[in-house]
Amino acid sequence: MKKANRLSTKELVTAAVFTAVTIVLALTSIPMPSGVPLTLQTFAVALCGYTLGAKLGFVSIVTYILLGTAGAPVFSNFRGGIGMLAGYTGGFIFGFIPFVLLCGLSVRRKMYIALPLGALGLMLCHALGVAQFSLVASRPFIDSFVLVSLPYLVKDGASLLTAYYTAIALRRALPFLRERQRV
């Protein structure tokens, strides 16, 4: 009989720690006039994926989203609730899922594969964010892109690169992260 593909206690605790890191980095935010704050969430999401892999990274980020949806004040500016998913920043929150998965799929791959996969995830995250902002704010897509995506791209690109190298250092320093990387 095959063992079920279950997460170990160590994996669940590790995912929970990264959920907590995501919460702290989301709460570290600077409000912006557009309604989309400047945060380190993209760094946190990429770090989850690049460090934990696709499966554990997914568990960590979905836990973060579910906590916020349930009303815990874990989203930027200490906000929470299901209304956040329908608001200006909801598309970005939904975009964290493909972002973490694509970063996670690149674990143990060369930089020339890992960074483009992460960049694709970041682009999907921004595309979902801009699309929802455009709908909620009743603004044209291009105007929304210029308002809520373009100003953040350099910071988010730097976050992606920093997360990649931080994940390499974490996996080297913490042997249990190397033991079993699920994709």
Residues in the chain: 183
What angle, 0 to 180 degrees and rounded to 10, lies between the N-to-C axes of helices 41-69 and 90-105? 120
pLDDT score of 54: 94
As to burial, measured by CB atoms within 10 angstroms (0-12 exposed, 13-18 middle, 19+ buried), residue 73 is: middle
pLDDT score of 3: 58
Cα separation, 137 vs 181, in Å, equals 41
**Ramachandran class of 107: left when φ > 0, alpha when ψ lies in -120 to 50, beta otherwise:** beta
**Domain spanning 10-173 has what CATH number?**
1.10.1760.20
pLDDT score of 179: 59
Cα separation, 183 vs 101, in Å, equals 9
Are the C-beta atoms of residues 99 and 125 closer than 8 Å to each other?
yes
**Tens-binned pLDDT, residue by residue, of the chain (183 aa):** 455 678 889 999 999 999 999 999 999 888 888 888 889 999 999 999 999 999 999 999 999 999 999 999 999 989 999 999 999 999 999 999 999 999 999 887 788 899 999 999 999 999 999 999 999 999 999 999 999 999 999 999 999 999 999 999 999 998 877 754 543
pLDDT score of 91: 97
- Name which of 109, 112, 95 is nearest 46 in CA terms: 95
Q: How many CB atoms lie within 10 A of CB 111?
A: 12
Are the C-beta atoms of residues 19 and 26 closer than 8 Å to each other?
no
pLDDT score of 182: 40
Are the C-beta atoms of residues 103 and 115 closer than 8 Å to each other?
no
